Structure 1
Amino acid sequence: MATPENSRNWLLIHSPNHPISQSCYVNDKTFHLPLKVPPVCSLSLGGVMSEAKTPTPTPPGDTYKGWVFKWTNYIKGYQRRWFVLSNGLLSYYRTQAEMGHTCRGTINLATATITVDDACNFVISNGGTQTYHLKASCEVERQRWITALELAKAKAVRMQAESGKTDKGELFSSALRTLSNKVEDLSTCNDLISKHGSALQRSLAELDGLRLTGEAGDKIRQVTERATLFRITSNAMINSCRDFLTLAQTHSKRWQKALQAERDQRVRLEETLEQLAKQHNHLERAFRGAAQANAKNLNVCEASDEDDDNEFFDAMEEAPEFITVPADPQFHKLVSFPLAELVPLKKRRTRIPDKPNYSLNLWSIMKNCIGKELSKIPMPVNFNEPISMLQRLSEDLEYHELLDKAAKCQNSLEQMCYVAAFAVSAYSTTVYRTGKPFNPLLGETYELDRKRESGYRSLCEQVSHHPPAAAHHAISDRGWTLRQEITVASKFRGKYLSIMPLGTIHAVFEKSNNHYTWKKVTTTVHNIIVGKLWIDQSGEIDVVNHTTGDRCHLKFAPYSYFSRDVARKVTGVVMDKDGKAHYVLSGTWDEKMEFSKVMQSSRGGENGTEGKQKTVYQTLKARELWRRNPLPDGAETMYYFTALALTLNELEDGVAPTDSRRRPDQRLMEEGRWDEANAEKQRLEEKQRSARREREREAASQRTSSQSEEGAPHDNYLALWFERCEDPITGEEIHIYKGGYWEAKERGSWENCPNIF
């Protein structure tokens, strides 16, 4: 069984005989293999390669062609390829000359997903082995391709749906054609019976005219009587057939018209249902927030918590027979209440002022900082983003719904998967965030009240200045509590900046009483002096359930130019207290995480020269745990803030006077007044130093014998909303929320808050 020591040598493969899927996970590298590879295809690093195949020629209006850069591997990077979009198929070639003989790969857009990464990059995937990471030459060209792809996809899906409808219409038409043919056959038989019956009657009349006697005459008379009975019966049948033929011919055209009318009516009904489903969906989404705000008063809070997993879907073009729009059961309970009682939620802002383009000689500031702790060095706001470290810490709740889902889990091992995904999701907001948050002033606070929208409240307070430490406490009505005390240590190494968060994060679930802890990994900012800044996360995390003994070991792989593996990769294994693996986690910290249930595990062979054994896991098909939300429009000019981050510094009534929203230098920077922000920042820092010296003098007068390590009197500062104690789980000295903040907010009583701004 894999242990943290040899975890980097894990090998994960799915059994080739398994009916669900296959994946290969070797030494922290994941390869997804198809269950059945068609004989005309073979796998390559660039995607699925097919044999000679030329796209079907189409009119110019249905075809889009052009050069696009396609990601191949980390050695070659992006390579220019000729792409052709035709008949709902996207094919690519190395050159235009190859179009006549060699197609390098094809994706059917009817089943593909199209996502946009940034200004020039986009991804096309069919959810299986084919994923194309593409880059256009510019943003305009990227948008042209996206438009063409989306139109082609919609047309392919529509044609697929209409094909299904046509098949069913053909069944009706075929039945009518068969019936018409049978009626024609019956008409022919009717004519033949009439013709042959008349001939038989004439022959019998001729025999009767011979006036034969004896036995022959008796036989002829007997045959004549039987023929007369047959003629009477035949005439009756002929008359019935004639009536049926007349009726069938009369109504045949009516049936054809009725069938066509049914088809037209069905199309109109589907279009109407689609519109109704979309309107229903939009109305339910609009009322969801308002309903949750009043859930407590309407006694449906419990129903709301239990049904959060229900999803809302737009009407799908692929479902021609019926459209299903699942609705949250809480709305069935709410319809009896007047709408006037539903108080609308506060509309949050979606933009902040664009970041100014200020020039700064970075080396003149940073050259004397190599090897030093940056938290002790005054830095201009030019390096900052307009939020404080307390607000950045609150961004850990960006994907709080993972904890909501974890609180509902009956199985502690499955719950561990969601907790581990939550631990990874906290880094997704950092991928483009190269700005430094403001260092909080001692006693500074930040509240994030999302109880009406999402059921949780969060409070942060700066409880120490040297070393800088922030305490955080969040509690949710949906059954979980999150608390942490984070001290950030940072070192400038010349080419890069290392940020090491110290401290433990705790997540406690009320229903199961499961108590989880984990720590953060190291964040590295590269190209500080020369080049474009970029961020990487590296290290290992152990998520531990102290109630059951379950453990999840996560590994954040550092970026390597020579690695063939996907960048920003995260892998992990969830094990019980006995070390038995139950789930395998894989993904990236900036995009998504998936988990697979382990069916069987075994030891493999030795791993090359190191001589360490691999662990083989046979798993079921991977399921998605978490996916990153897309950035808002124009995020590149707004410090790459997420939708949540854009609202963090929005002014609100009733917050404490120490709240980060009231910090003047931060507000001035957000407004683009950086020179004034720098002057205000120096004033606040000097005010903080003066307050510290005053506390030291008071401490010296009370306890002259108490000296700090540096020889200065001990700073006797006490946090306002948190109290210092020993953590019963980790044994660390930490600050835990002691209560009183939200009650003070309701009273509007902030007399005890220090004057720090």
Structure 2
Amino acid sequence: MHEKFRKRNIDAKITHTLGWAKRWFQLSPSGVLSYSTSPNSVTRGSIQIMLATISSNPDQRLIHIDSGTMLYHLKTLTSEDHDKWTAAFRAYRSGGSIEIQDDLPTAAGMLDDPVNQQDTIEKGVKSAAALRNSAIRLGDNIDVLRALLDQLSHVPGTKDLSQKIVALSQQLERDQKSIQSNAEEQQKHWTSFRNGIASSGQHNDDLDDFEPTNYDSVHPSMSARSSVSEQFFDAEDIILSGGDDNDSFGGGEEAEDTTNEDSSDDDDVNGHDTEGSLELSIAGDCVRRNRLPSHAVGDVGSALSVFRKNVGKDLSTIAMPISMNEPLNMLQRACEDLEYSEVLNKAATLSDSMERLMHVAIFAVSSFASSQYRTGRKPFNPMMNETYENIRPDKGFRFVAEKVSHNPLIIAAHAEAKAYKYWQCTKIKSKFWGKSMEFMTEGVFHVTLTGHDDHFTYNKPSSWMRNMIAGEKYLETAGEMQITNHTTGEYATVAFKEGTGGGLFGAPSNRNDVVATFYDAKGKKCRRIVGKWSDKLAEEVDMNKRKLSVLWTANPPGIEDYTKYYGFTRFCVELNEITDIERNKLPITDTRYRPDQRLYENGLADEADTEKQRIEQRQRERRKEFADKGIAWNPRWFTIQPDHYADPLFIPPSEGQPTSGEGQSFQYTGQYWQARESGQWPSDMFELW
């Protein structure tokens, strides 16, 4: 949907997929560009100008603002307006003050609905007054913050935190003064505008002849200087037949008036609240690495003595030598499941529900493909509240994950794209059984597809690293996975078969076989897919084993000498990289900033081991501190919600509380990307390492 705004006499638009709609558009003193449906409505999206990439095309009067996850296209009415836009953004980016000579809204822009013109003006006056009152309350809160800071200064060991809070309070005070000054100025503008209309003697019947060209002659005092905030408003929502960047404002035929103050915002496409535009394509030209900085380090054999002492125990609860790790985190491993996300894009285009089920099943199986090259190491355990994000314009998704529980170890993740949503809440365990190590993922995976009512869930079977002590090591997945479409009642069972053949200490000659059988809502077999999760999956056409149609093929590793680099695929190599998309935009809790993992990736095993022990000890101390003070250590971006598809005992009730019989899981709150876009992370977010 192309959305149009007016900055006084400046037009703009945000690219989505449907049409054009007018919005209230505001650039704040702190450089946050935001928009809403009206001056008093909830903000629907925002971009921090300081953290965005801005490009312009003066010939077409276009300005493109890309934050990495959201893309705004601004198209001005005139070349002069284009210069004012770029000057304003340039001033923010350079850190200088803004002095823009700008006219108030033209009569054609602000009063194109004569019936509601007085209401529009009164709303402007009230909005400015409310903004001024909010600025005053912000000043009061700053005083409270200073009082708390004074108390904190007497607490030992809080010097660094106190300095940060002092800097924050100073910044807030500057912002408060700017906002209050702007609010007072805006209130004067609106009041003057209202008085000017009244004194001009014009009535509603004459407004059709009130042209922009003679506005200054009617009320020459309307020109004003703004030093902080530039606001844009148009009262109507419209859908235009055109969607071209070359269309001028008002160009093309008006198709439909969709004004509805009570309706949901147009940003919510097909019922999927994407928390802002998912226009990620412009960031797709970032260059990604094709190998790790260092080949594999650490001696896996030296850790076997630790294994022998902990046979049958959950190794995720035991401090392991770093030589048993690969330079990836469990949160990043969760993202690795999306390597073949294009299968879900395909599923969303299919009209037949059974075909969609088949492709979701293929996607679920594909998550094991990259593990075939692994060398028997385990990922790093995340710290509590550790997060990981991944924005992939080339694949069209954005992903965020967090460690939400320490004991048991639970991670939660959420991904969204134009075609689908995907989320999981899983317990991660690993156990050593004497000759093999088992990797278990307990919990439910969810998929919904845009344009369909389907809700798919599935589970994962265990994987084993065989011949840990002697012989040829290999990874094997065995067990059963069930994928269910809870909307249609259709389901599939996928059998992962154990390998056969081979010697006592060798890898099986025939392994990685899967057979997926699909059932309709009445339980009747109707389709079947066979193949190997490490190679190809094909449908038996008409259930005929002799007639196969290949539906999916695994990618090769994609990097040279992959065995020397932990058996990582190209997609896996890219997971811990900081590209231009992430640089200076990540929260301090992101895995990419974790020093022990970064050192280990760079081949510095001893230094990494020292850092790992320090970080783990720091977490133990903080956990004890919270326990002593009776403070609950809760996740930041996910919260416990009812989950009809989760085991009631997956997240057991609190001690002394009866089991309700209803499952629960940690689910995404929808706030992470908003914080990222604005650059305003929670003030109480603390360092993990």
Provide the TM-score with structure 2 as the length reference: 0.54
1:441 aligns with 2:383: yes
Partner residue, 2:518:
574
Structure 2 Cα separation of the partners of residues 542 and 499 of structure 1: 18
Match of 2:396 in 1: 455
CA distance in 2 between partners of 1:343 and 1:541 (Å): 36
Q: Please state how far the C-alpha of 1:413 moved relative to its aligned partner.
A: 0.1
Partner of 2:592: 661
Go from structure 1 to structure 2 and tell me whether the alpha carbon gap of 1:356 and 1:449 turns closer, same or farther (over 3 Å shift).
Answer: closer
1:561 deviation in Å?
A: 2.6
Per the alignment, residue 628 of structure 1 pairs with: 554
| CA RMSD, 1 decimal | 2.7
Match of 2:441 in 1: 501
Secondary structure at 1:667's aligned position in 2? helix
Name the CA distance, whole Å, in 2 between partners of 1:296 and 1:570: 45
- State the partner residue of 2:540: 596
Q: In structure 2, which of residues 552, 571, 593 is the aligned counterpart of residue 644 of structure 1?
A: 571
CA 1:343–1:639 in structure 2 vs 1: closer, same or farther (change >3 Å)? closer
1:355 pairs with one of 287, 292, 295: 295
Deviation at 1:510, TM superposition (A): 2.5
Q: Distance in 2 between matches of 1:364 and 1:491?
A: 14
Matched with 2:458 is 518
> In the alignment, which of 323, 345, 367 is matched to residue 426 of structure 1?
367
User: How much does 1:437 deviate?
Assistant: 0.5
Does the 8 Å contact 1:398/1:426 carry over to 2? Answer: yes
Structure 1 runs, 4 residues or longer, greater than 6 Å off: 292-296, 333-337, 341-344, 562-565
1:431: Cα distance to partner?
A: 0.7
One-letter code of the match for 2:481? I
In structure 2, relative to structure 1, the CA distance for the partners of 1:565 and 1:436 (3 Å cut) is: closer
Report how far residue 639 of structure 1 moved. Answer: 1.2
Aligned residue number for residue 311 of structure 1: none
Across the two proteins, how many residue pairs are aligned to each other?
396
CA distance in 1, matches of 2:423, 2:541: 29
Match of 2:627 among 676, 683, 696: 696
* Distance of aligned partners of 1:480 and 1:687 in 2 relative to their CA distance in 1, 3 Å threshold: same
Query: Does 1:370 find its partner at 2:311?
Result: yes
> Which letter maps to 1:499?
F
Shift of 1:659: 0.5
Deviations 1:60-86 (A, max 9, x none): xxxxxxxxxxxxxxxxxxxxxxxxxxx
**1:560 paired to 2:560:** no
1:393-432 paired onto structure 2 within 5 Å:
393-432=334-373
Counterpart residue number, 2:529 = 585
CA shift for structure 1 position 354: 3.0
- Secondary structure (helix, strand or coil) at the match of 2:285 reads coil
**Matched residue SS, 1:675:** helix
Q: In structure 1, what is the equivalent of residue 473 of structure 2?
A: 533
In the alignment, structure 1 residue 685 sits paired with structure 2 residue 616: yes
What is the CA–CA distance in structure 1 between the aligned matches of 2:420 and 2:315, rounded to whole Å? Answer: 35
Native 8 Å contact 2:311 2:434 kept in 1: yes
Is the 1:538–1:557 Cα contact (8 Å) retained in structure 2?
yes
Give me the whole-angstrom Cα distance separating, in 1, the residues matched to 2:313 and 2:69: 48
* Cα distance in 2 for residues equivalent to 1:624 and 1:345: 31
Distance in structure 2 (CA, Å) of the matches to 1:453 and 1:716: 39
SS of residue paired to 2:346: helix
**CA–CA distance in structure 1, aligned partners of residues 338 and 663 of structure 2:** 24
**Residue of structure 2 in register with 1:141 after alignment:** none
- Aligned-partner SS, 1:695: helix
Task: Tell me whether 1:717 sits opposite 2:633 in the alignment.
Answer: yes
1:728 aligned residue: 644
Structure with the larger helix share: 1
The 8 Å contact of residues 293 and 453 in structure 1, kept in 2 or not, is answered as: no
Task: Provide the rounded CA distance (Å) in 1 between the counterparts of 2:600 and 2:476.
Answer: 26
Letter of the structure 2 residue corresponding to residue 526 of structure 1:
R
Are the equivalent residues in 2 in contact too, given 1:384–1:438 (CA < 8 A)?
Answer: yes
- CA displacement, residues 224-256 of structure 1 (integer Å, 9 cap, x when unaligned): xxxxxxxxxxxxxxxxxxxxxxxxxxxxxxxxx
TM-score, with length taken from structure 1: 0.50
Q: 1:618 to 1:590 in 2, by over 3 A?
A: closer
Bigger drift between 341-350 and 663-672 goes to: 341-350
Moved more, 374-383 or 356-365: 356-365
> Aligned partners of 1:466 and 1:294: how far apart in 2?
36
**What is the one-letter code of the residue matched to 1:504?**
V
What secondary structure, in the 3-state scheme, does the structure 1 residue paired with 2:495 have?
A: strand
> Does 1:383 find its partner at 2:324?
yes
Compared CA separation, residues 344 and 466, structure 1 to 2 (3 A): closer
Q: Give secondary structure in 2 for the equivalent of 1:513.
A: coil
List per-residue Cα deviations over 1:85-135 (Å, max 9, x = no partner).
Answer: xxxxxxxxxxxxxxxxxxxxxxxxxxxxxxxxxxxxxxxxxxxxxxxxxxx
- Once the 2 structures are TM-superposed, how far is the Cα of residue 336 of structure 1 from its aligned partner? 8.9
Distance 2:296 2:634 in 1: 39
Matched-pair contact (CA < 8 Å) for 2:499–2:509: no
**8 Å Cα contact 2:478-2:496 kept in structure 1:** yes
Q: Aligned residue for 1:480? A: 420
Task: Calculate percent identity across the aligned residue pairs.
Answer: 34
Relative contact order higher in (CA < 8 Å, ≥ 6 apart) = 2
Pair 1:377–1:294, CA change in 2 (3 A): closer
Q: Supply the distance in 2 between the matched residues of 1:593 and 1:336 (Cα, whole angstroms).
A: 45
* Amino acid in structure 2 at the alignment position of 1:428: A
Amino acid at match of 2:565: M
Unaligned 5+ residue runs, structure 2?
A: 1-65, 76-242, 248-280, 647-661
Q: CA–CA distance in 2 between the matches of 1:375 and 1:684?
A: 16
Instruction: Give 1:462 shift.
Output: 0.2
Shift of 1:626: 1.2
Structure possessing the higher radius of gyration over alpha carbons: 1
1:193 aligned residue:
none
Q: 1:645 to 1:342 in 2, by over 3 A?
A: closer
Distance 1:462 1:361, change over 3 A: same
Cα offsets for 1:436-476 (capped at 9, x unmatched): 100001000000111x3222110000001111100010010
Who is 1:755 aligned against?
Answer: 687
